[in-house]
């Protein structure tokens, strides 16, 4: 994860003065979350769209995943949850294709935690097509169907769209969470604004900020 220590200076964000009393229970713009100057169009009519920008090989994404998965379940029908695998360099692309191929097969959610475990606990390399295909075959995924999708125009289009979204949301590091096409937060942003804390506490604090952002976005007055 790239630390966002200078994220507050990024062009394209509207950073309002943060109150000295800001906490994850009382999150403030510019301290606990950031507001995009140019809101992005969302596709989840009637629900608050929440998007996680992530990378399978990111240890911080792996660490956040269980708490985030629990949080998403608790939101129920209030939100529409999406994931966007990022690519800060070309070597990330095979994992983008891995995610979108599994998504097309309806297996992305089922295998998300297993992929993180394989990389970060079992120390397996899943950086190339060959390594990825070997892994998914052992997980019982239809190898030929996966390969057909992995090299398809449909997955090509998803990868290109991911690059566009990463740019539009000005993603500087992962994991980063976007709410309603307008707000961004992340463990690194919350830590920057509130000081160091143990990772479980940091995850809990980040999800408290997410609660507030979802509530704000659900109000009719807050809609675009």
* pLDDT tens digits along 63-105: 999 999 999 999 999 999 999 999 999 999 999 999 999 999 9
Residues forming beta bridges with residue 79, ordered by sequence position: 48
Q: What is the DSSP letter of 43?
A: -
Q: How confident is the model at residue 45 (pLDDT cuts 50, 70, 90)?
A: confident
Over residues 129-141, the mean pLDDT reads: 98
- The pLDDT tens digits of the residues spanning 189-223 come to 999 988 889 999 999 999 999 999 999 999 764 44
Residue 22: its pLDDT value, please? 56
d(CA 180, CA 198): 28
Over residues 176-188, the mean pLDDT reads: 98
- Whether residue 17 has pLDDT greater than 70: no
Residue 189: count other Cβ atoms within 10 Å of its Cβ.
Answer: 23
Q: pTM of the entire structure?
A: 0.88
CA-CA distances (angstroms) from residue 101 to 131, 156, 165? 15, 10, 18
CATH architecture of the domain formed by 33-217: 3-Layer(aba) Sandwich (3.40)
């Amino acid at each position: 994860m790239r630390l966002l220590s200078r994220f507050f200076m990024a062009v394209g964000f509207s950073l309002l003065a943060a109150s000295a009393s800001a906490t994850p229970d009382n999150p403030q713009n510019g301290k606990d979350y950031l507001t995009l100057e140019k809101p992005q169009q969302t596709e989840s009519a009637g629900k608050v769209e929440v998007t996680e920008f992530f990378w399978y090989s990111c240890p911080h994404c792996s660490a956040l995943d269980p708490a985030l998965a629990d949080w998403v379940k608790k939101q129920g029908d209030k939100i529409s949850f999406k994931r966007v695998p990022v690519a800060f360099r070309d070597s990330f692309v095979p994992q983008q294709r891995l995610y979108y191929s599994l998504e097309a097969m309806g297996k992305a959610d089922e295998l998300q935690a297993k992929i993180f475990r394989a990389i970060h606990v079992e120390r397996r390399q899943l950086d190339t097509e060959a390594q990825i295909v070997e892994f998914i075959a052992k997980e019982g995924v239809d190898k030929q169907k996966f390969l057909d999708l992995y090299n398809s125009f449909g997955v090509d289009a998803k990868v290109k769209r991911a690059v566009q979204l990463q740019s539009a949301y000005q993603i500087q590091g992962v994991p980063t969470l976007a709410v309603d096409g307008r707000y961004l937060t992340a463990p690194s942003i919350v830590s920057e604004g509130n000081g160091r804390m143990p990772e479980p506490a940091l995850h809990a604090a980040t999800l408290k900020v997410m609660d507030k952002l979802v509530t704000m976005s659900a109000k009719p007055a807050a809609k675009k």
